[in-house]
Structure 1
Amino acid sequence: MNNENSYYYFHSHSLTMIILVATLINVILYIPYYFYQCLLSALATVSVGDIYTVQNDDDIILEKQQQMKAMKQKWFYMPPVLKELTSSFLFPTEIIAILKLKFGGYVKTSKNSLDQLAHTLNDLDFCYATLNKVSRSFALVIQQLPQPLKDSVCIFYLVLRGLDSVEDDMTYPQDKKIFLLHTFYSNLLIDNWSIKDVGDTEDYRILLDNFGKVINVFKLLDKNDQSIISNITLQMGTGMAEYVGKIDSIETLTSYNLYCHYVAGLVGHGLSALFVNSGLEDTDLCVHKHLSNSMGLFLQKTNIIRDYLEDLKAGRTWWPKEIWQNYAAYLDEFAKTPNCEKSLECLNHMVLDSFNHVPDVINYLSRLKHRKVLEFCAIPQVMAMATLVELYNNPSVFTSVVKIRKGLTCKLMLNCSTLNEVLHWIYFFITKIEQKIPKQPSVNAHRMQEVVDQVKNLCDVNSKI
């Protein structure tokens, strides 16, 4: 791993050249769009006479303000793809990755609403259209899997997405929610079963409203795959039901790990079973269930750390009290004092807890034999690593949602095809974490350095250079 830095950076270009190239790319992309917006603005200009047809001065002022706001939105609005390109201003290879994924035909997302697609697509096409709508990153990695594993994993994801939507809907009555979580798996055997007005987003509600289409495809899967999906759904629903109505923080690390097992570790168990049943992976993958569990826990804990503020506002507090009570009397204190040393120590403690799963992640990934299965498993893990780099020692976690650049996400999706590439990324990001470890001595800093050293050693041992 001595050449990890050269793996990611240009050898022959200075920083100045990189900036110039990035600037040129962004200018070339933005100038045509800017003039296009100018043309639209000229065509859409409202005449002064039209404005003054209102009845009073207050209406005139309001109309002027609305027109000015609309004008600013039109002139300064930047579509998502340009925002993504701008955020990767200093990273030309990320810009290339964005454009490649955007226009390379990797994932085709319909411009029609999911509700419209439900009435026009067949059952299987609707399932993939839903997958593309509710999770574009997972959609890409799932659709790169070989058949018939691809369809099984797609349906597995949608079934658990439906189950998770029930859990996340804070407006759904608790008694009905608990019952539905317990019985959700059995509905997979009921033709055309669906439920209306459940889910915390419109697309999730449409998924559950048209769940009969998912069931129809589920029944066409291999019988063993059906059994795996049904069994995991039963276990997950039962586990989720235990936490319904618990608005207080999870008390202990044991309870925290158990919750993460229910909502994510079981997904790892199910995926490992699907991989083995497909014949693409060896049976010993299911023997080491603690490794599959860690794959899920690492992802879930990363999300829980990132979503601190969002969950706090929604009344969901998943940070374990066993950790945060060492740094504050109440969990919301961190949002009030984000730059406080205690706040950052708590955050770093949470990140450290997540990183404890990385050795198991490396162990699991090193056992995979099929290239597409490795890509599917590795990409989310490496993205979680990149996210934790941004979260670590970052007070913005307590005041906003911290995410990695879209360009970096795209680059990771295109460069995790071999174990060697994956280990390079892990080594790269763990080195970034090492650079962010606070200089002031502390127990958390010491433990994080130990984890960093362990992960680096595992990368060296498993690397096939």
Structure 2
Amino acid sequence: MNGPQISIDKPETLQPLSDKELQAILLEGVSRTFALTIPQLPNELYPAVANAYLLCRIVDTIEDEVSLSAEQKKYFCNQFIEIVKKGKNSQAFAEQLAPLLSEQTLPAEHSLIHLTPRVIAITHSFDPAQIEALAECVETMANGMPIFQAMDLHAGLETMADMDNYCYYVAGCVGEMLAKLFCHYSPEIDQHREQLLKLSVSFGQGLQMTNILKDIWDDAKRGVCWLPQDIFSETGFDLKDLTPETDDERFRQGLEHLISIAQGHLHDALLYTQLIPSHETGIRNFCLWALGMAVLTLKKIKQNLDFNDSSQVKITRNSVKATIFATKLAVRSNTLLSLLFNITSRKLKTPDWQYSPRLPSPGQ
């Protein structure tokens, strides 16, 4: 065999690859879902969107690294914001951060950090408007996530508004970035810019809330809970009492309410997708596959409210294939897409329930 065998665990073997090959392999290593959906995009959009996800993953890697102190995380996040904006000092950043990563970090993420200079070089090969959209997203995410990392999350977030803010920093701002990239790509799409930017935040929140609900018990093992206390206060359950052994109807009622809220956000995701011209089937499929998998995950959670492990509500490969097949058939028809969404998600809404946010007391 000529040359070293390509391995995601060995960043040096990835260096000779083309930009497109490198980003595809890194995406496959850090997210199979995005490795599946991003290639559906038009060739003019694929490089920037793939790169954007890798940039966000670098921020995630910093924030999730257990060996880094809060001060170190802030330092590396601030460094990375400037690197993405200016395209400089990426080699020093990678050499400083890579040795600090623990074994708990995925091998693919180790490689991603080592290859930060290549990823940043790709970033700065784009159009200035694309670079600006990516940099704004990274800055929002890198500045926002530490706010929540510094909190005591053993008993959850305090309010649904806090959950909204968290979802914005980790997913909503990504939705905004994608909307900007889509509008830059197509003047026809840009005609709906204002609506798309608004709906994109809700789209991101729907996907993130689905992930939070699916991963409740994985997070609990780390002593973390991203659920909002006020939703469960309304049902009479205290999140500080939550354990994988919890068997409480009041907790399940709270879950149902969150599923209902998430369904509303996913309906906004449908409206977002329907604003994309019907001939842009690649962008529509990119949106619809993520939307469809989220709806099916919520359905599985709703049907198994007593689950205590994420594997119990993970959708099957056949479900993924069915989502792809159904959306490909309906992709050009807004009427069919609405019908498909309504049929699939109709049992996710909580009947006769309206969320009433807790208002601060006078003087607070």
Alignment of 1:410 with 2:306, yes or no, is: no
Kindly indicate whether residue 67 of structure 2 is the aligned counterpart of residue 171 of structure 1. yes
Answering whether residue 8 of structure 2 is matched by residue 113 of structure 1, we say: yes
Report what 1:243 is aligned to.
Answer: 148
CA contact (8 A) 2:8 2:111 kept: no
Structure 2 residues without counterparts, runs of 5 or longer:
355-364
Structure 1 range deviating more: 377-386 or 133-142: 133-142
Change (3 A) 1:404 1:212: same
Q: Is the 8 A contact 1:114 1:133 kept in 2?
A: no
**CA distance in 1: counterparts of 2:21 and 2:176, whole angstroms:** 27
Report matched runs for 1:130-279 at 5 Å: 130-188=26-84, 189-190=87-88, 192-193=90-91, 194=94, 195-196=97-98, 197-198=100-101, 200-248=105-153, 249-279=156-186
Provide the residue aligned with 2:361 in structure 1: none
Candidates 219, 222, 226, aligned match of 1:318: 226
Root mean square deviation of aligned Cα: 2.2
Partner of 1:461: none
Answering whether residue 278 of structure 2 is matched by residue 374 of structure 1, we say: no
- State the number of aligned residues: 329
Deviates more, 1:284-293 or 1:155-164: 284-293
C-alpha distance in 2, partners of 1:274/1:228?
7
Shift of 1:184: 1.9
Cα offset for 1:219? 1.3
> Which range is displaced more, 406-415 or 115-124?
115-124
Post-superposition offset of 1:281: 4.5
Distance 1:394 1:281 in 2: 42
Offset from partner CA, 1:216-248 (integer Å, 9 cap, x none): 111111121011101111111111121122132
Rounded Cα–Cα distance in structure 1 between residues aligned with 2:24 and 2:317? 22
What does 1:309-458 align with in structure 2 at a 5 Å threshold?
309-326=217-234, 327-333=236-242, 335-338=244-247, 340-369=248-277, 370-401=280-311, 402-417=313-328, 418-420=331-333, 422-431=337-346, 433=347, 444-447=350-353
- Say whether the 8 Å CA contact 1:348–1:393 is kept in structure 2: no
Q: Deviations over 1:131-161 (max 9, x none)?
A: 1222222112211212221101010111011
Instruction: Identify the residue that residue 78 of structure 1 maps to in structure 2.
Output: none
- What CA distance in whole angstroms lies between the structure 2 residues aligned with 1:360 and 1:424? 15
| Secondary structure in 2 matching 1:317 | coil
Asked if the contact 2:218/2:309 (under 8 Å) is kept, the reply is no
In the aligned structure 2, how far is the partner of 1:363 from the partner of 1:171? 42
The one-letter code sitting in structure 2 at the alignment partner of 1:427 is: N
Q: What SS does the corresponding residue of 2:149 show, helix, strand or coil? A: coil
Is the contact made by 2:252 and 2:305 (CA closer than 8 Å) also made in structure 1?
Answer: yes
Q: 1:191 to 1:181 in 2, by over 3 A?
A: closer
SS of equivalent to 1:221: coil
Aligned partner of 1:404: which letter? Answer: I
**Matching residue's letter, 1:113:** I
- Alpha-carbon distance in structure 2 between the residues aligned to 1:393 and 1:112: 40
Deviations 1:197-218 (A, max 9, x none): 4373221121012111101111
Q: Distance in 2 between matches of 1:406 and 1:396?
A: 23
**Partner of residue 290, structure 1:** 198
Distance of aligned partners of 1:211 and 1:184 in 2 relative to their CA distance in 1, 3 Å threshold: same
Counterpart of 2:357 in structure 1 is: none
CA contact (8 A) 2:270 2:291 kept: no
Bigger radius of gyration: 1
Alignment of 1:6-45 (within 5 A): none
Shift of 1:191: 5.0
**Could you list the per-position Cα deviations for residues 311-358 of structure 1 after superposition, in whole angstroms to 9, with x for gaps in the alignment?**
1111221101111234323344353233x3212112112211211213
Return 5+ residue gaps in structure 1 as ranges: 1-109, 438-443, 449-465
CA separation of 1:400 and 1:299: change in aligned 2, threshold 3 A: closer
Change (3 A) 1:324 1:127: same
- Percent identity between the aligned chains? 24
Which TM-score applies when normalising by structure 2? Answer: 0.83
Return the alpha-carbon distance in structure 2 between the equivalents of residues 414 and 133 of structure 1.
25
The 1-side partners of 2:246 and 2:224 are apart by: 20
Instruction: Please tell me whether the aligned partners of residues 191 and 216 of structure 1 are also in contact (alpha carbons under 8 angstroms).
Output: no
